[in-house]
Amino acid sequence: MNNKNFFGITDTILFLSIICISFFGLILLYSATNQDIDLVFRQGTRLGFCFILMFMIGSININHIKMIAPYIYIVCIFLLVITILWGHDSKGAKRWIVFFGFSFQVSEILKIAVPLMLAWFLSLDEDKNFDLKKLLFSFLIIFLPILLIIKQPDLGTSLIILLCGGITIFLGGIKKKHIAYLLGSLVIIIPVMWKFFLLPYQKQRVMTMFDPTSDPLGSGYHIIQSKIAVGSGGLFGKGFLNGTQSQLEFLPERGTDFIFAVFAEEFGFIGILILFLFYLILIARCIHIVGNAKNYFSKIIAGSITSIFILLIITNISMAIGVLPVVGVTLPLLSLGGSSLLSIFIAFGIIFSVNRRN
Amino acid sequence: MRRSFLDFSRVNTEKLFEKRLSVLISILLILTILLIGRLYFLQVISYEHFETLSETNRIKHIQIPPRRGIIYDRNNMVLADNSSLYSVEINIKEATNIKKIITAVDEEIGLTKEEINIFFKKKSKYSHHNVVTLKNNLSDAEIAKILSIRYKYDGLDVTASLLRRYPYEKITNHVIGNVGYIDKKDLSKLNKKKYKGSKYIGKTGIEKYYENILHGEPGSKHVEINARGRQVRDIDEKRPSPGQDIHLTLDVELQKYMYSMLSDYVGSSVVMNPKNGEILGMVSVPSINPNRKLWKFSVNNDEEIKKLKSPMFNRSINGLYSPGSTIKPIVALNGIQNKIMDPEKEYYAGPYYQLPNSSRRYRDWKEEGHGMVNMQKAIIQSCDVYFYMLADRLGIDKIENFFEYFSFGEKTGIDMPYESFGVLPSKEWKNKNIGDKWTKGDTVITGIGQGYFLTTPIQLAYATSIIANKGEIFIPKLNKNLKIKKNNKIKEREFFLKNNINSDDWEMITEAMFKVVNQKNGTAYWTTKNKKNNIAGKTGTVQVYSLSQKTNEREKDNIPDHLKDHSLYIGFAPKENPEIVIATIIENAGSGSKYAAPISNKIINYYLDEIRERY
């Protein structure tokens, strides 16, 4: 294998597809932010930083990553507590902490830290069956950060982390019996959550997903405008910088949550298929790496990362076309934002590191 | 054994992992395919639906109001036109905090308390408009100041609009009328499509009557707007077609002169060309400056205007007055036509007239009476007793019937809105409106134009033109290009008047009216020194307050102003081939010969000597 290439780049095709998509993300951002070139430069700088980080992680031995996994997890939990205590307020929620002038969303990192911790835990005694003790510990690992994130409050991200953790324990071999029990209890828990834990704005978001026209100027506005943007893109799109929904600012959160709508409006259905092709190449390479992974930890973490990556794409796009409520998930590699970008590149760094050992 | 078991187990967990991974990836792949299906539905199948939604999002249809037609007088002097007006406006729907915007505007250009109050009044009154004006008539500096802060406040804007301007202000106010904000009442009647971008509509006078011609057809344009409603660029534009200009028959020089003659009084004067019905001048006093009314919006708070007596009331077509002695020539014609009285025969006219079996004395204005008078002398000296007698002999039915030929009690048909009918009394009228039987006494006082008889100045001018024309009728009009075809009713009337009254009798009546002004004992003899225009006229003095039978002259001077007599005058000149007809009413001034007659004769002389000369 061409694994000892350059820095941590152990798979050229994967690397090139990451480069292609993220570079295209910058171009798309230029359109989404009404030609705000400064903002694009800032994002480019972040991207450069993330690439360097990815190289660095990629060149670490995966066993070393396994060794430090619990410490990463503990640091993240610590940072979450700090966020809740001294976090930065935004729209009534404390989600950010400020680090040397950079604002940082710890919950984004947990999308990768939780699977990492679980993979470490499950590979401690990898030969043993997935018994109740394993299940309880896994739950502890998943729910400790989730409870802290719900406290912020940020229900969307907690749900995503729950899914990320769920993916890892599913791959880790959770018993079918337990899956059935868990799904069964969800049926009971969801109505209770709805009644006692959801804040009114969260309920509103879910409700408007089912009927966006019920509140066309309030929370339904985002979904309606986003669907219009996507739909009016048609087969070939309106062309770069010609999307009226995005350029005339009918579309909200264009750089972050709804960047897919900008893309769909300007590049159309054909453009989406091409984008999906790039994503497919990237994912196919990841699966290939998973298949070649030499140890259990590598397999679990690389498999989780690959699945989570697909899950995030599906969630973001579903959000943009009104299939899922607006939960604040970015589109991997395309959306504006530092923390989510960071966690994605850490994840790819781990993938490269896994491939190194193959 | 243990190791092999472990090995076996290890293989087992890895196999499980691979199975699990393929299940998970498959599920995610299926979800992705479903998502692509959904995207296909949105972008390809429902494309047109969303395309339309996206277009309606960004494209706004804007109505462009047409330029209102200009109103000219007969010599192309501008009586009403449009001037650019810049105003600060607030779009209620777009504005997030109206109070904040007002404070900001106040800091920049200063607003009076009144302007702010009016803004909120307008906001509630014209709630169907999204855009409400905050301050009008901005200076260049003020425009620049507002434009510099505009970007900070959604909904704040400076707009240019065309404001109606009336250069002759008070002088032409009642006849031209004015435009005003389209209110909810107008909105229920008008073509909403045509007025979508318009702010003003003709409310009174010519502006109202010719609204359809003056308004024009609106244009429209499509503009691209962004999410905040700001216009980004124009897409296409259909230019509005301006309203048609109107040329009036008015002569503004004459109008100015008439206004200057009347401005100290309360009343009205109407000048008409008897040869074609063209109104040359039409003045109603008091009057207000219509420009101020438009800018300040509220006239009701203006102290200066409050002091005036009904300044908004157009006395020329709505003021109802007893015609008084001015109708005596027509009563005389009535007598001739019905062959009730021989015009040449002299009757004794004492100080009063009495009906048989009644003690009531119908007194003459001249205490000692006129002595022996024939019809012509009775007109010249305005002998009341002669006409009491004539009316008594005619009876109300004949009088009513004959006066209809002069169009009393009905609209003249002038091209002005809201013209009043006046009252031509009859038995039926009294029964219906007063609920009482007609008496002979009612007939007697009708003979001198008192009692229930009510006319408007335009009616008097119209009737006078029929006398001047010796039976030929021209309906009064203000629009020079208006072609009035005489309808059958008018033709029948002309036929009747020409065939039932012979030219000698017409001549006798006009001669009598000529002598009113030109013979030493005529009631209007002294009212003009300039006799060369051969003016014929008739004075009238209308009692507002019925003096008791025994009141003597000295007490008359003590009655309050509002109970003083109305002063009336009708006239035409020259006697042969008349070119001008006038009817003037001065309210609560005194006798006709003292006020209305000299003013009217000055107007006639001014027209014939100064204005007519120039043509």
Q: How many domains are contained in chain B?
A: 3
Contacting A residues, span 161-200, partner chain B, CB-CB under 8 Å: 167, 170-173
B379 and B400, same domain (yes or no): yes
Give the pLDDT confidence of B425-448 residue by residue, as tens digits: 999 999 999 888 999 999 999 999
B258 and B156, same domain (yes or no): no
Whole-number pLDDT of residue A7: 58
**Among the listed residues A145, A203, A11, A316, the one whose alpha carbon sits nearest the alpha carbon of residue B35:** A316
Out of B268, B287, B325, B593, the active site residue is B325
Exposure string over B392-407, b if 16+ CB within 10 A, otherwise e: bebbbebbbbbbebbb
- SS3 at position B177: coil
Tokens of B567: 């002063």
CATH number of the domain where residue B170 is located:
3.90.1310.10
For range A245-255, the mean pLDDT: 86
What rounded mean pLDDT belongs to chain A?
Answer: 87
B231 and B360, same domain (yes or no): no
Give residue for tokens 């802290």.
A148
CATH number of the domain where residue B269 is located:
3.40.710.10
B72 and B14, same domain (yes or no): no
**Domain boundary, last residue among B213, B247, B281:** B247
Domain ranges of chain A: 12-357
- Parent domain of B165: 63-247
Question: Prior bond to A200 cis, omega within 30?
Answer: no
Domain assignment present for residue B323? The answer is yes
For range A212-219, the mean pLDDT: 62
Whole-number pLDDT of residue B289: 87
A132–B contact, CB cutoff 8 A: no
The verdict on a CB contact (< 8 Å) between A272 and B47 is no
B83 and B187, same domain (yes or no): yes
Confidence class for position A133, pLDDT limits 50, 70, 90: confident
B570 in Cβ contact with B538 (< 8 Å): yes
B92 and B120, same domain (yes or no): yes
Phi and psi at residue B566, to the nearest 5°: -80, 140
B472 and B401, same domain (yes or no): yes
To test the contact with chain A by mutation, choose from B8, B16, B20 the residue with the greatest count of A C-beta atoms within 10 A, namely: B20
Whole-number pLDDT of residue A2: 45
Dist. CA B356–CA B166, nearest whole Å: 59
Domain assignment present for residue B466? The answer is yes
For range A286-315, the mean pLDDT: 93
B430 and B522, same domain (yes or no): yes
Whole-number pLDDT of residue B69: 94
Give the ranges where B216-374 is alpha helix by DSSP (H): 252-262, 290-296, 303-307, 315-318, 328-337
Whether the pLDDT of residue A129 is over 60: the answer is yes
Mark the ranges of chain B whose per-residue pLDDT is less than 50. 1-6, 296-297, 548-554
Whole-number pLDDT of residue A3: 44
Domain assignment present for residue B57? The answer is no
B581 in Cβ contact with B573 (< 8 Å): no
B30 and B129, same domain (yes or no): no
Dist. CA B591–CA B569, nearest whole Å: 10
For range A210-214, the mean pLDDT: 63
Whole-number pLDDT of residue B188: 83
The verdict on a CB contact (< 8 Å) between B43 and A269 is yes
Give the pLDDT confidence of A74-113 residue by residue, as tens digits: 999 999 998 888 776 666 666 777 776 677 788 889 999 9
Helices (H) and strands (E) in chain B, counts: 24, 19
Confidence class for position A210, pLDDT limits 50, 70, 90: low
Q: Is B325 one of the catalytic residues?
A: yes
For range A20-32, the mean pLDDT: 93
B102 and B24, same domain (yes or no): no
Dist. CA A268–CA A266, nearest whole Å: 6
Domain assignment present for residue B78? The answer is yes
Phi and psi at residue B91, to the nearest 5°: -85, 110
B32 and B136, same domain (yes or no): no
Whole-number pLDDT of residue B230: 73
Contacting A residues, span 71-110, partner chain B, CB-CB under 8 Å: none
Domain assignment present for residue B301? The answer is no
Which chain B residue has the Cα nearest residue A318? B35
B242 and B174, same domain (yes or no): yes
Burial of A315 (0-12, 13-18, 19+ CB in 10 A): buried
Domain assignment present for residue B51? The answer is no
